[in-house]
Structures are given as structure tokens and as C-alpha cells.
Chains A and B, each alone.
Chain A
């Protein structure tokens, strides 16, 4: 009888371990599938939030830039109709410009100087005064809602400063400041006593100058609406407006002629169905109550040539002057597109550029992505922990049969990596698909305009995939390590 000679156990090669792990996975295909699908759901959630955030950022920016003509049109119509509101004029003076930022500051200031006939020094003084008002406004915005309501009611900074010119009002204001335990507002006295009357005088001069300029343009262009002028004779308008002191970038009005025509026809079409008779007929045709029929509802409904033709005949029958059905349809399409863009823009009224990377996303979206990453991590960790702990007794049996700690570890690492890979791939695919579907529902056909985002989405998906695999491996390695360190019988007792 040979004696027992104890030697080192052979170490299996990585390939052999991989083979054993693979065949083990094959045996447990069903259980693996469950783990993989949990992993894929977790990753899909992350990818979906990521992709949707990117889509949203991109499409909002896109919508903003595509709506630029319509915004410019609105700006021109309002500029040619009424003088700037005092608050707006103050803002223009202070920061110089509208939502385009500082670029148009000089243009606005030039217009104001021409209309008010003020000297350079006066303009400079006006700007300083306006900036002081803005400072007060910023200060008010920084207060708590309660304090703001008590101090300023609904007034903007300019109106508040004007009101405080009365000594009694100033006294009350100061008393409230003390009551609210807010220190004195810096430079308030200077603003109220010296600046505000000077600024108001300048604003009045600007306003009357702008009104004069508007009537001068109207005189030159004759009757008709502003949209009509832009649509039909942009060159003449450019000259007339320029003569009246408006700053007109060369060619801007000409480029707005087409959108202006569409806008004009849209309003025209809206007026055509305003008569009771047409409205009733349209309501019956659309199958909706008369009260719901308006320009927007009608344009939404106008989706086919046959409907356009029906509308044309109806208007003609009731004695109106109809429009070409093809034109009607084109207008309706333009309207629907514009609605879609406006919906995509949503509340994001601030200037946004099409997002170029993940890090350009708004903070709230980043937060959401971070949160979903956490959810994904917990989901993956849970799935892997489950699948390892339920196999503690298997680990123990294998150790009884001579498996080494390293082999047990390696087996679980391989398995977790494979499951992470497959689950991750499925998750990325699922998440992207979901984001696309959601995008389709939210933005309609606009979503296809985001095709330039494809590569970035892929990179985002890849990051999520790698994160999923790493998470899966880490989450599986830890319990497997614990189990492989235990003596076989101790591991078998852990259930």
C-alpha cells in the first residue's frame, strides 16, 4: 500500500477554466437568462435616461435654431408696431440687447440714440443708470419670495424705484427692510434720488422717438399689416425702416419674406373660418363641437388634399374668397412643423445650442443620469449577489472535490463578465430603442433630425455597457471570494 504523499494541486489554465465556466453557464441557461435579463433591464434603464437626455438636449437646441426665423419675424412685427416696454428698454440699455446677448447690444443702443437724439455722454449716463436699476432687480430676485412680495409687490425694479421717489414710500420701504431684518440696499438712495428721474426722461425720449419712427415707416409703406410688408416688399421696408432709424441687418428682412408670407396666409386662413356659417360646416366636417374650432384646430385637421379641397369649396360656397388648396396644405404643414418645434423647445426658452457631448446637458438631466446609474448599479449588484449566494453549496461541493479558490473565483468572474456583456448588450439595444420610441412620441419626425447624434449615443451606450460589465464582475467577485475562502463545510452551512 502506497503512503499518501501530499503535493500541490494542479492549476488549471485560463482556457480550461473558461471552458468549464462556459459549460456551467450552458447547464444553467435558464437561471443565467434571468440574471442576464435583470442586468439588461438595469442597463436599459440607464441607457434610456442617458439617450433621452442627449436627444432632448440636441432636439431642444435644434428646435431653437429652426425657430429662429419665426422668432425674428415676431421681433420685427412687434418692433414695427409698438415702442419697447420701459422694462425691456432698461434691459436693452443695461446689458445691451435681447436674447441674442451682447452681439446686438450696439444695434439697440444705436437705435435708441438715434430715436432719443441723445449725446454720447447722455447715452453713457443712461446705460449706467439702467445698470443700477438692473442691480436692484438682481437684488430683488435674490430675496425669498415672501420678502420680495412684501418689498416690491409685483413691481419690477424700475417701477419700484420710481415709486420710492415719494419720501413717504421710501420711509415705508425702509421700515419693511428693518422688519424683514434685511440690511439697507446698497446705492438705493443714489438710484432713487439722482438716477431714476434722469433715466425715466431718457426712456420717454426713446419711446416717443421710436413711436415717431414707427409712424414714419407706416407712412412710407402705406396701408396693410407688418407681415404683409415683410412678405411682399422686404426691400422697400428695409429702406423705410433704415430711414426711420431702425437698425436693419442687410438681407434679414428679405430672408424673412417667405416665413412672413406663410404666417400671413395662416392668419388669413384663420380669418376665413371665422364666419359662423363656415365654422359650423367645418365643425360638422371635423366632427367636433363648434366651440373647439379655431385656427389651430383647423390647421391641425388639414392634413390631406381632399380636406383642403373640401375647405376651399366650402369657403367659396359661403361667399368667401378661397385660397388655393395646395397653398392651404403647405401652410397647414408649416403650422404643424412649427407646433412640433415649439413643443420640442418646451420650457427651454433660453438660448440653447445643439448639445455636442454628454457634459453639455442641463444639470437636472445629469442628476437624473447619475441617479439612474445608481439604480443600475444596485440592480446589477443585486442580481449578481443573488446568483452567487444561491450557489454557495455548489461552491462548497466543488471545494470538497478539489477545486482551488482561484478556480472558483475565476469561474465566477468569467460567468459574471459573460452575463454582464450579454445583459449589457441587450440593455443598450433595449434602452436605445426605448429612447427612440419615446423620442418619436414626444418629438415626432423631428427625432430623425438627431441622426448626427448616432455616434454619441453609441459611445454613451458603450460606456453603460462597460459600466455594466465591471459592476457585474465586482458584484459577483466579492461574494465568490468570501465563499471560496471559507472551509467547504462552513460554506455549505451558509444558506
Chain B
């Protein structure tokens, strides 16, 4: 398979900042033989510690697959993923569970809350897996719900909450074990403008106050205003990576953001 010329990130960009997630020639394909479909066709990328990076790309470009890969939720067909210079493929199942539980927070487009649990119980699930005593977990859970301004709704089930509220519970859940990385797969896709903005504000605060690295895939232009860098993915390949400062965002054109 021939690869389109991939613009590698500027070499000097990596020197002053430590790389927290690095992917090397990442490939993912589904099916066998002639019916093989490629979701990722060799992605080389580097995400720096403490930055807020947006990943852009049309539907089916491989964004979600890329997210699952760097979140150690799925295994690549080829290539390597290094999280803090540790190859994910070399981690045992127990270490993977540790990584998912404590070091990475996930926010999904479809929230993925456990539907029979209340908001507070949903938030405390990862803490239970981390071995936090129930009492401490509940206290920390309430603090986190307060952070996303849902403290008064702690006893509600997902079905009794709006999409924005559910997404905020998911954010609280993703933060409960103080992760170093937060992966957000289209966090505002199912939300209206105002709730989307609230979610973005929360994410920005987490990034600035806690220094959590945030990787965020989105179609939402507002997100571009608060991120540090933007990465474009098309047909399973990295098209372009730019500093936010070098990009002008124009709204109102179909085809995404243009310089």
C-alpha cells in the first residue's frame, strides 16, 4: 500500500515538550483477504504532555478507531502505541486494566453510562475497581459531581437525565481516578449549543487547572478556539497538524475549517 505523503510534526515541537502519546505507523484493518477494510493506514503522531489537542476529520476517517487505539481499548493490526514511552502491546492484562483505570479517562460520544446505576454510582465504579474504600469513593464522587454542577442530581439514573447531564456524569466519572490523559470522542456531538459550551468550559478548566492532557475529536468549531493544536485525519492518515495560532477558523462553509 502506498502512503500519501504524511506531514510529520515539526521536529522542533517535540524538543521543548515531552511526548505523552506517540503512535508509530499505526494500522487497523477489519476483515480478511479481499474484503479487508482499513480504518487506519499508518498513523504517526505525537501528543505532548499537558496539551489540548483536537482531532478533526470527516465521518469514517478513522478518528474513533484512532481514539480507541491510543486509549488502549483496542489492539492495532500493525504499528506501535507508546504511552509515556511504554509500548502498550507489552503491557499485561492486569497492567492494561491499571492504565485504563487510573491513567486514562474516557468520554464517549454515547456517554456509555451503566444504565441501571445512579449518577453517583456511575462515578464511583472506576474507584471501586481501583480499590478505593466505598466511603471515600462516595465523597470524591460527590465532589466531582459538584465540579460538573450535578451534585443535586446524584441519585438520578441516566434515563432520568438529559444528554448534557449524562455527558457531565461521564466527565466526572472519567476524572475520578485523577487521570493524566483524557480522551474525548466527540463529547459535544449529541448536545445542543449551550450544553455543548458548558462541557467545553469544563474540559478547558480541567486542562488548565489540573494539567491533564486532553485529546478531543470533534466537529465542533468552538472547541478549536480552546485547543492548543489541531490534527486533521483523512482516510486513515494524518493529513495535517497545526498550532492553533496558525489556523484561522471560518464558520459557515461546508467542508470544515479552512485557513
Q: Which residues of A contact B (CB under 8 A)?
A: 1-4, 6-10, 12, 16, 20, 24, 27-28, 393-394, 397-405, 407, 487-490, 492
Asked if B68 contacts A489 (CB within 8 A), the reply is yes
Asked if A9 contacts B73 (CB within 8 A), the reply is no
Report which of A6, A27, A403 forms a contact with B99, defined as CB distance below 8 A: A6
CA distance A1 to B128 in the complex (A): 26
- Decide if B106 is an interface residue (CB 8 Å cutoff): yes
Contacts of B93 in A (CB 8 A): 404-405
Asked if B129 contacts A407 (CB within 8 A), the reply is yes
Asked if B112 contacts A400 (CB within 8 A), the reply is yes
Report which of B18, B73, B86, B180 forms a contact with A488, defined as CB distance below 8 A: B73
Known contacts A4-B83, A397-B114, A401-B173; A20/B100 CB under 8 A: no
Asked if A6 contacts B95 (CB within 8 A), the reply is yes
Most chain A CB within 10 A, of B18, B49, B116, B121, is at: B116
CA distance A2 to B74 in the complex (A): 26
Asked if A400 contacts B100 (CB within 8 A), the reply is yes
- Decide if B94 is an interface residue (CB 8 Å cutoff): yes
- Decide if B257 is an interface residue (CB 8 Å cutoff): no
Asked if B173 contacts A28 (CB within 8 A), the reply is no
Contacts of A404 in B (CB 8 A): 93-94, 97, 129
Report which of B75, B116, B125, B130 forms a contact with A10, defined as CB distance below 8 A: B130
CA distance A1 to B178 in the complex (A): 13
Least Cβ–Cβ distance between B139 and chain A, in angstroms: 18
Known contacts A4-B84, A10-B130, A487-B73; A402/B112 CB under 8 A: no
The chain B residue sitting closest to A485, CB to CB, is: B93
Report which of A7, A24, A488 forms a contact with B74, defined as CB distance below 8 A: A488
Asked if A12 contacts B112 (CB within 8 A), the reply is no
Contacts of A405 in B (CB 8 A): 93
CA distance A16 to B49 in the complex (A): 35
- 5 A/B residue pairs, CB under 8 Å, sorted by A: A1-B49, A16-B128, A27-B116, A398-B129, A490-B74
Asked if A401 contacts B84 (CB within 8 A), the reply is no
Report which of B49, B91, B131, B181 forms a contact with A6, defined as CB distance below 8 A: B91
The chain A residue sitting closest to B131, CB to CB, is: A10
Report which of A6, A7, A401 forms a contact with B126, defined as CB distance below 8 A: A401
Asked if A8 contacts B94 (CB within 8 A), the reply is yes
Most chain B CB within 10 A, of A7, A8, A10, is at: A10
Contact with A along B55-91 (1 / 0, CB 8 A): 0000000000000100101110000000110100001
Known contacts A9-B94, A393-B112, A403-B97; A20/B73 CB under 8 A: no
Chain B positions 123-156 with a Cβ under 8 Å from a chain A Cβ: 125-126, 128-131
The chain A residue sitting closest to B213, CB to CB, is: A1
CA distance A289 to B83 in the complex (A): 96
The chain B residue sitting closest to A27, CB to CB, is: B116
Least Cβ–Cβ distance between B21 and chain A, in angstroms: 10
Asked if B83 contacts A402 (CB within 8 A), the reply is no
Known contacts A6-B103, A487-B75; A402/B117 CB under 8 A: no
Contacts of A394 in B (CB 8 A): 114
